[in-house]
Structure 1
């Protein structure tokens, strides 16, 4: 046989992969599995609120400034944002508007909701 080591994996040289993983990996795996189970056991609405809050805490940075069309990029960002982020940015943006722009925004939103 030209390469006797080539078939080592196929000849019963099985090993316990977990024995060769660092302890940190085992702990992280156990915590991740416990977290997944806890999420599955939660009421879906509770889980969504908790996860949304935690994603916000873990998220770093801010939305990317628009390069081309601000409205299109805002829609794209909102599609990926958590519900908590959407509400927070919506309120912050509204509060940053002038009173005249706030009135115009409310008229626009109310008109769309009534349609």
Structure 2
């Protein structure tokens, strides 16, 4: 780690990541990541670091041929936070009648499962 801190370059940190994977347990690496994120000055800084690692999906693209297929494809790599935000926003944008139909559909799917 001292070598990496001295160099401070992207390549050095990428190399440290590889060494950490080889020499540290998953629990040790998780603890190190937790401590590093907690050491940042603001929550926004921690979120930016987290987002750079997790590669969030961003906003859904306009549908091409099948809106449902496109939505499912986007949801397959979106973060839980993104899926919740877009699901709630989409639900709230529905007219009351469609909201009722959606709630009925969800209840039926839940019973069938």
- TM-score norm. by structure 2 comes to 0.56
Identify the structure with bigger relative contact order (alpha carbons < 8 Å, sequence gap 6+): 1
Aligned counterpart, 1:9: none
For 1:108 and 1:88, the matched residues in 2 are separated by 20
Which is greater in Rg? Answer: 1
Q: Equivalent residues in 2 for 1:76-91 (5 A)?
A: 76-91=73-88
Q: CA deviation at 1:62?
A: 1.9
Q: CA deviation at 1:55?
A: 2.4
Normalising by structure 1, we get a TM-score of 0.55
Residue of structure 2 in register with 1:105 after alignment: 102
2:60–2:74 CA contact under 8 A, matched in 1: yes
Gaps of 5+ in 1: 1-17, 44-49
CA 1:92/1:29 → structure 2, altered by over 3 Å: closer, same or farther? same
Mapped pair 1:25 → 2:46: no
* Two-structure CA RMSD over aligned residues (Å): 4.0
Structure 2 residue 5 is the aligned partner of structure 1 residue 40: no
Structure 2, gaps ≥5 residues long:
21-25, 35-45
Residue 63 and residue 83 in structure 1: after superposition, are their counterparts in 2 closer, same or farther (change >3 A)?
Answer: same
- Paired with 1:39 and 1:103, the residues of 2 have a C-alpha distance of 46
Secondary structure at the residue paired with 1:62? coil
